Amino acid sequence: ETEIPEDHPRYASLVTRHRIEAGVEQGITSKQGLIAQGRGEAFDYLLGERTIPSADDAARAAAATLLLADRPVISVNGNVAALAPSETVDLAGAVDADLEVNLFNHTDERARRIADHLRDHGASEVKGLAGDGEIPGLDHARGVVDADGIEAADVVVVPLEDGDRAAALDAMGKTEIVVDLNPGSRSPRTADVPIIDNLLRAVPNVTAHARDLADATPAELAGIASSFDSENALDAAEETIRGGSFESRDDAE
């Protein structure tokens, strides 16, 4: 998809940037999304651009939580659609979740393009175009959702979610799974299951755990979900960031 040589030491990061850039060109990703990507990359660098063990535990807890859910919904914004469309569609299939386009800066045009993009990557049904529901406590533009989607969901996956909206979803009583590289950001701090990892690694990892847990009993799934401690996960990520040295990061590659 790009002319970036695969043996380039920063290959993954360069491909990611290219995808976000292409997303903006296709009218899928907002310009704000470019800024969010830059913030994320800085944290990923500090984490060593790898899935740390606590993030893998979080991904497993997320998979168990999704498999136990009655009405799980995966919220898709412009960055998610640009970075990991197939991976997100795969996750929805693995845990039988709905996909809902949900944008911080909503326009009908962008929502339609994202829904089309997800369908191009194998999604059968994409919600988020009806806009007949709401998240209470937010102004209309930020709070609009589908009544039979996020409004009715018991578990929501909100990758790269804004802090205010994560708090408003929490106030609605949703169980929230947040993917975010910054353990200090309000969204993962609000989440029941914060996955401090790059979306590009986290989404397929949750899918892999869900496939691994396909034959687990509800009691086993509940055990995995309830033994997960979100505070510990946030602390572990913060310690990794504060305690790492650039030298050991080079060695890890």
Please name the residues in contact with 7: beta carbons below 8 A apart, sequence gap of 6 or more. none
Identify what 37 binds: ligand ATP, Mg ion, none; CB under 5 to 8 Å per kind.
ligand ATP
**Exposure string over 49-61, b if 16+ CB within 10 A, otherwise e:** bebbebbbbbbbb
182 is in an annotated binding site: yes
187 binds Mg ion per the rule CB under 5 A:
yes
Span 129-168, contacts to ligand ATP by CB under 6 A: 160, 162-163
180 binds ligand ATP per the rule CB under 6 A:
yes
19 is in an annotated binding site: no
Q: If you search the block for the tokens 């709401």, which residue do you land on?
A: 134
Identify what 181 binds: Mg ion, ligand ATP, none; CB under 5 to 8 Å per kind.
ligand ATP
251 is in an annotated binding site: no
**Exposure string over 191-207, b if 16+ CB within 10 A, otherwise e:** bbbbbbbbbbbbbbbbb
What is the C-alpha to C-alpha distance for residues 30 and 15, in angstroms, rounded to an integer?
18
185 binds Mg ion per the rule CB under 5 A:
yes
39 binds ligand ATP per the rule CB under 6 A:
yes
Question: Is there a contact between 43 and 67 (Cβ–Cβ < 8 Å)?
Answer: no
Interface positions with Mg ion (CB under 5 A): 163, 185, 187
Interface ranges with ligand ATP (CB under 6 A): 36-37, 39-40, 43, 83, 160, 162-163, 179-182, 185-187, 198-200
